[in-house]
Amino acid sequence: MAAVTLSRSRGVVFLAAVAALALTLTACSSSGGSTPKSPTSGPTQQFVDHSGALVVPRALHVDGGLGQDQARLIVHVAQTLYTFWNTGKKDYLLHADAPSFRDNTLPAGRKQGRDGALAASAGFRAALPDLTCELADLYVTGDTFTARLVFRGHFTGRYDGVPGCGQAISFNAIDIQHVGNGTTITEDWHIEDNLSFLTQAALVQITGGSSGPANGH
């Protein structure tokens, strides 16, 4: 493993050790050889908004003590946020994040708040124009939701000035989003599996081991 790996996926700078932690979480969630989950079904289906072009969580887990209206609101906010990451369309972010939104894992050089997220999305799409964001797992607990995301695309653009060669990209991310007492997200914490992105894009090489995708995808 490289001693230090620096990256700006979604505008975030991480040490390789932190990226390795995300890989461990991914491996645990995908172990056992189970088949891919179908889109949300069962009792939690009632909380999902199927209107428009919103992304739908493949698996949804809702705190049993949460009121139905509150659960439905938070799921809708989550769907709206990740539709932004799935499409890059600004309006979705503006509807999901409060004007005073704060990123608690803000990297150096990135603007705080919604402007930072917009710039990060635009920069990443410059590298992967066909970027998609799958909302693989959504956990709603109280006024907070946690999401496991799968980003996919092809490195056909440029990343930090380096042109891609069409490499297929697939990596995971974990978000914790706090909605609070309102109807929009007020703050978040997030971690991305940048090491898989960098190795798949051939931007770094891990010495002493495989340089392929560490998460097996």
Q: Is the pLDDT of residue 135 over 60?
A: yes
Taking residues 171-198, report their average pLDDT. Answer: 95
36-52 confidence digits (pLDDT tens)? 344 555 667 899 999 88
Q: What is the largest CA-CA distance in the chain?
A: 52
Whole-prediction pTM: 0.77
> How much is the pLDDT for 27?
35
Taking residues 62-82, report their average pLDDT. Answer: 95
> How much is the pLDDT for 190?
96
Q: Which of 68-72, 148-152, 161-165, 209-213 has the lowest mean pLDDT?
A: 209-213
Q: Is the pLDDT of residue 169 over 90?
A: yes
> Which runs of consecutive H residues, i.e. helices, occur in the chain?
16-30, 68-87, 90-96, 114-127, 194-200
Amino acid type, 34: S
> How much is the pLDDT for 7?
36
Residues listed for the chain:
217
> How much is the pLDDT for 76?
97
Exposure string of 161-180, with b = 16+ CB inside 10 Å and e = fewer, is eeebeebebbbbbbbbbbbe
75-117 confidence digits (pLDDT tens)? 999 999 999 999 999 999 999 999 999 999 998 889 999 999 9
Q: How confident is the model at residue 206 (pLDDT cuts 50, 70, 90)?
A: confident
Average predicted confidence (pLDDT) for the chain: 82
State the Cα–Cα distance between residues 196 and 147, nearest whole angstrom. Answer: 19
> How much is the pLDDT for 41?
54
Strand order in the sheet with 60-62: 60-62, 132-141, 144-155, 167-178, 185-192, 97-103
Asked if residues 157 and 164 have their Cβ atoms less than 8 Å apart, the reply is yes
